[in-house]
A and B are shown apart, each in its own frame.
Chain A
């Protein structure tokens, strides 16, 4: 047997570096806010840097949005809503959304490289997933803009007005698309605040929106940290708050918005259960487990971070899984052959390291890929914990990194009980060749999204969102319109 190992060795076919050219995108030294159709000089001189997490390299300086900046953005959005956007027929709004979608496609390489630089995720993912899906989101909602009467919310459903939208750093461009496309299709104008570690693709999207000729003030983008976000969600001039991010911040927003009359949707954290039955299609299941937890370095709110394996196949699954984990190519996100890129920030890396240490201290068995990590930047090896108990922190808290916790179960009832033993409820996966049991499970799992024999699959036509501490409201599909209509 020894002559077979290591099965994962690439020694005979060691992939030479295949870096995507970063020359396709121009990064400015400094950026202002995008307000009323133009990049403005910020009201305050406070600025902050955004870096490339894979190297630590300084990319650009970005403005810290002040109350005055948020005021100006909300005022521009209000004026655009009243004077222009609410007076346009749906087919006219659709025209702009189609233009944005096409421009995202035309400028896809620029967007993909910039996203990889600013976020640290592999170019393969930005090129094949983030950017095409962002375009797809605009195409999809463009189609709805003149059909709102037929969306099932009664005749002539009204827009809400101005939406304040705060998005996270894990899918910066895609989350901007998820927020802006349905809001505009439904007839609202928006003020969007990207995350402070990943503002650049939202600012490039602002340029695309300008290029598409979208009327001034319909989309405004204000950069900044949590203070800017707080100023936006607390602003009396907005009618709607949409937030994607941590449960902790979501809770603060919900209490701040309570009683204000603002409509609220929250898409928060998760601790997704990926449930593997003994009759699962084993090779595809292993790939699904890998995609479930190591896609986007595990910076995915719906990540399948808890693997529940039927006890009878535990050893076989772990053997195959660890062999596969060893094969993952961790490193330069701009390299087209990289599978796992950089952790987005030093703070996130520290959090992942802290929870991983806790897993070891609580008695779980740690396996980390022996891959070499780059010396600069923020990287963490793909890691699997076996022997995890439900009481362990790594089974309860969202790690938001490339760390998988493996638990076992014996019966479908036990799988349901363990999967539901969490405060979250965003997503779950079921792997089995037996359809009847998969449906039986899906009825009993408390999660907004259930995947069968796949994981982390998204589509603009399919609603996405959570229950319990994973938030409320849906994004995507017809359901996603409801969040931006007065219904």
Chain B
């Protein structure tokens, strides 16, 4: 075999690290205007291709555990009860009652009025308390009400706030309003982490998702999140891939590392592993951590547990061996 050594590798061009300052709506428009378009066919083809990666053995075991630590265990129903939230919290801290080697999940995610229940149950466990505020899921309320919603959740002990953007304002071109609201909510969050839900199913086009991602990042989001889980189209792999490209480019541009949360419709381990491959090969291994990637899901956790047991013992166990929440 002819050995061909790599040689003469040029240095990669240095990235200019300059903070993007948005002082006016004009600044915002010109920054968004500089973003590249998205080719839908190409994006979906790339997502499908990454979906064919095959994770085996140790990689699969490690990826399942990583996915568990990235779950925001969620219950967002009108019929939620304090009992259900307590059960959810117990499961979050120790997902498999019979196997203490299973790591806890990243957070529980509940409506603001149930935050105090979660706080009391989780105690000092280290599991975060995320709460959906800002008139979730529609966002159709005045800014004053949205901010009050956020402050109440934070006061009750939420460590993470999942807000929704004003899709009506975005789609009508009033991007300044979208930006200002995020800035105001970020301020109201205080020390709590802010996840900004773009509701990509209502933005419809990939170009819109890219622009909305940048608005959220420029306005101070700690995370950008795909969906509320309350509309017809929730997280998809192409949309998540696109948002990961946005956080990667934002990090290269500004040095700030923003997280991504894929929420809604992710139910199987197979899907979760595909998402991790997309994270790994789009944004990079830096994002393979609950600090920078989350799954917003409820039923996913039990499937992860079932596949984890399968990996450990070689056989599947009955689904009802894992507690419902």
Contact = CB atoms under 8 A, between A and B. Distances in A.
B53 A15 contact: yes
Which has the most chain A C-beta neighbours within 10 Å: B9, B38, B41? Answer: B9
A283 interface: yes
Which has the most chain B C-beta neighbours within 10 Å: A12, A283, A370? Answer: A283
B4 A433 contact: no
A3 B2 contact: no
Contacts of A28: none
Contact of A453 (B2, B39, B248): B39
A366 interface: yes
Contact of A18 (B1, B56, B62, B255): B56
A337 interface: yes
Interface in B250-299: 251-252, 255, 257, 276-277, 280-281, 283-286, 288-289
A408 to B, nearest CB: 14
Interface string B112-125: 00000000000000
A242 to B, nearest CB: 31
A367 B10 contact: yes
Contact of A16 (B10, B36, B46, B55): B55
A224 B258 CA distance: 59
B17 A1 contact: yes
A315 B15 CA distance: 10
Contacts of A365: 8, 10
A285 B8 CA distance: 26
Interface in A1-49: 1, 3-4, 6-18
A282 interface: yes
Contacts of A92: none
Nearest to A15: B59
A280 B36 contact: yes
A379 B252 CA distance: 33
B318 interface: no
A67 B93 CA distance: 77
A381 B257 CA distance: 31
A404 B55 CA distance: 30
Contacts of A376: 1
Given A4-B252, A377-B1, A381-B6, A16 B12 contact: no
Interface residues of A, number: 60
Interface string A315-347: 100110011000100000000110000000010
Contacts of A336: 52-54
A12 B288 contact: yes
Nearest to B63: A13
A367 B8 CA distance: 7
A284 B17 contact: no
Contact of A7 (B62, B276, B286): B286
B303 interface: no
Interface string B1-44: 11110111110110101000000000000000000111101110
A428 to B, nearest CB: 17
B77 interface: no
A433 B238 CA distance: 19
B57 interface: yes
Contact of B285 (A12, A15, A370): A12
Contacts of B62: 13
B38 A281 contact: yes
B320 interface: no
A17 B58 CA distance: 10
B60 interface: yes
Interface stretch (A101-109, A145-153, A175-183, A348-356): A348-356
Nearest to A376: B1
Contact of B251 (A4, A14, A124): A4
Given A453-B41, A454-B41, A16 B60 contact: yes
A323 B53 CA distance: 19
Contacts of B152: none
Nearest to B283: A7
B325 interface: no
A421 interface: no
Nearest to B289: A12
Contacts of A18: 54-56
B37 A368 contact: no
Given A281-B38, A287-B46, A360-B8, A6 B55 contact: no
A193 to B, nearest CB: 28
Given A14-B59, A366-B8, A337 B280 contact: no
A350 B54 CA distance: 33
Contacts of B56: 15-18
B9 A284 contact: no
B180 interface: no
Contact of B39 (A9, A284, A337, A386): A284
B1 A378 contact: yes
B59 A281 contact: no
B202 interface: no
A195 B87 CA distance: 66
B198 to A, nearest CB: 18
A375 interface: yes
A128 interface: yes
A319 B13 contact: yes
A369 interface: yes
Contacts of A128: 52
A279 interface: yes
A127 B3 CA distance: 29
Contacts of A7: 248, 283-284, 286
Interface string A278-310: 011111110110000000000000000000000
Interface in B37-91: 37-39, 41-43, 45-46, 52-60, 62-63, 66
B187 interface: no
Given A13-B280, A124-B52, A283 B17 contact: no
Interface of B: 1-4, 6-10, 12-13, 15, 17, 36-39, 41-43, 45-46, 52-60, 62-63, 66, 242, 245, 248, 251-252, 255, 257, 276-277, 280-281, 283-286, 288-289
18 contacts: A1-B15, A1-B252, A8-B284, A12-B285, A12-B288, A13-B59, A13-B288, A281-B37, A281-B42, A283-B245, A284-B39, A285-B39, A287-B45, A287-B46, A288-B42, A319-B15, A367-B9, A369-B6
Given A6-B284, A280-B36, A319-B13, 18 more contacts: A4-B284, A7-B284, A9-B285, A10-B280, A13-B55, A13-B63, A13-B276, A13-B280, A281-B42, A284-B39, A288-B42, A327-B281, A336-B54, A337-B53, A366-B9, A367-B8, A368-B9, A453-B41
Interface of A: 1, 3-4, 6-18, 56, 124, 128, 279-285, 287-288, 315, 318-319, 322-323, 327, 336-337, 346, 349-350, 353, 356, 360, 365-370, 373, 375-381, 386, 433, 453-454
Closest A-B pairs by Cβ, 10 of them: A284-B42, A7-B284, A18-B54, A368-B6, A281-B39, A284-B39, A282-B36, A336-B54, A16-B59, A12-B285
